[in-house]
Amino acid sequence: MLALALIVVGVVALYLYGTRTFKYWEKRGIKHDKPIPFFGNRWSIYSRTKSITQLAVELYWKYPKERLVGFYRTTVPELVIRDPKLVKQILVTDFSFFNRRGLNTHKSVVEPLLKNLFFVDGDVWKLLRQRITPAFTSGKLKAMFPLIVERAERLQNNAIKVPPTGGVLDAREIMARYTTDFIGAVGFGLDSDSLSDENSAFRKLGIKIFQFDVNQIVRQMLKEMFPETLKHVNVLNKIESDVFGIVRSIMQKRNYKPCGRNDFIDLLLECRNKGKMVGESIELTKPDGTPEQISIELSEALMVAQVFVFFAAGFETSASSTSYTLHELAHHPDVQRKAQEDIDRVLAKYDNKLCYDAINEMNYLRCAFKEGLRMFPSLGYLMRKCAHKYTFPDMDLTIDEGVTIVIPVQALHNDPQYFEDPEDFRPERFLTDFINPLTKDIYLPFGEGPRACIGERLGLMQSLAGLAAVLSRYTVEPAPNTPHPPTVDPTSNVVQSVIGGVPLLFRPRSK
């Protein structure tokens, strides 16, 4: 009897633990779906039947009259924001309350590869951002451009091999190989040559980073349920040694000194040579309320984490967005012709060679790419975590520290309130300022505010160069097996992906 009683007590205690926060939104009068013990409203994510983006889109449309919608990540209260004014408030105006990204499950114990500018929070984020930002100036980007041209030419000549009548290729894979080669060059200073070598080690590493297996899903789920108990469990352990090994060997060959390549590792070594990162804290204050002065060393481990996110985010996001843009251009031949005319006109001024200035002049191509990012943003959602108790303006709602905010970018980008006929691929939207002033606050392919993507201009540069390289030589058309729209992969994690790639018919253009 005692054993049975202990079991009953244990089960009840476990149940109470797994439901302890589930009155949070009810008490505040916020509409939400009924959560499941321990899983909250994320069972569809853990069972891999919906991505986070798809779940956010579903909640966005399920409560069309609400400014915000409640749900639970396991037992952590979260909010989906539907109101553009609140989006701007969170990302920009009241950033000091929402400076955390909220992707790490534990505030102070973060696994090595996630101590990067995208994932890390607090003072480490602030000082890293402050130190690394100068690496993305126009001058630095211009110095990198010859590396883009070299890879773009390989894309034209090596990756797209089709007969004069054309051939079907996976645009998603081709663009991933192009962006992998470029990021390999500017990030690691290596010639990965995945455009020629199908067995490129770098391409395999890129695939491995974004292929979450069941073991990783379970680890992530359990860390979210028991963040304190499992704070030392790593999710990226299967690639950690590979990434550390590659970056460490490159830095050792350079004797931990810049070698003049102007790649990202060189820039990080320059940053390290400047000494400790010093600045005002966003976490610690003196008794008089002013910020504490803090300093952090840019250690080898921190440098490896930055190279990791530069590689992972740099190739995957651009591959997703450029291949989707090609997909839409294939289904809209009139728009494609306009983009090609834009490319041809500009290249004619520069002896038919890609260069930094030429890419900046391809205005219609840029609009087509922005429209592709509107319809299918690589990052379909943004996350922030409340750093201090916060009261929403004009609302009788106060949330506590630790509540996570989800901004459903995919849903906002495709809401007819902000974009007329959002299902239409219409680059002309971006030729002029938005008519609806709220639209500026919800077009967020690179985020907004102090935590906006630091590599936005680099991402645009490599993406537009890749698209110009393809479209100057080839016309793309739907293949017999091309779904329209593509089927979103429900197992997508941070970056959106599609099932079956993006098969397109590539036809050489007549010279």
Whole-number Å distance between alpha carbons of 413 and 404: 21
- Contact assessment for residue 55 and residue 44, using Cβ atoms and an 8 Å cutoff: yes
- Contact assessment for residue 438 and residue 418, using Cβ atoms and an 8 Å cutoff: yes
The response to whether 386 counts as a known ligand-binding position is: no
Cα dist. 86→56, 70, 302, 469 in Å? Answer: 16, 14, 33, 40
Concatenated DSSP letters of 162-174: --TT-EEEEHHHH
- Burial class of 81 by CB neighbour count within 10 A (0 to 12, 13 to 18, 19+): buried
**In this structure, are strands 76-81 and 404-407 parallel, antiparallel, or unpaired?**
parallel
Q: What 8-state DSSP symbol labels residue 185?
A: I
Residue type, 148: I
Cα dist. 288→253, 261, 285, 494 in Å? Answer: 48, 47, 8, 40
Whole-number Å distance between alpha carbons of 267 and 260: 9
β partners of residue 295: 278
| Residue 439 Cα to chain centre, angstroms | 21
- DSSP H or E run through 471: helix 456-473
Buried (b) or exposed (e) across 200-229, using 16+ Cβ within 10 A? bebbebbeebbebeeebbebbbbbbbbbee
With H, G, I as helix, E, B as strand and everything else as coil, classify residue 401.
coil
Token pair, residue 327, equals: 């997909």
Token pair, residue 182, equals: 């470029």
Quote the radius of gyration of the chain (alpha carbons, Å).
Answer: 24
- Please give the annotated binding residues, written as ranges: 453
- Please give the annotated binding residues for heme, written as ranges: 453
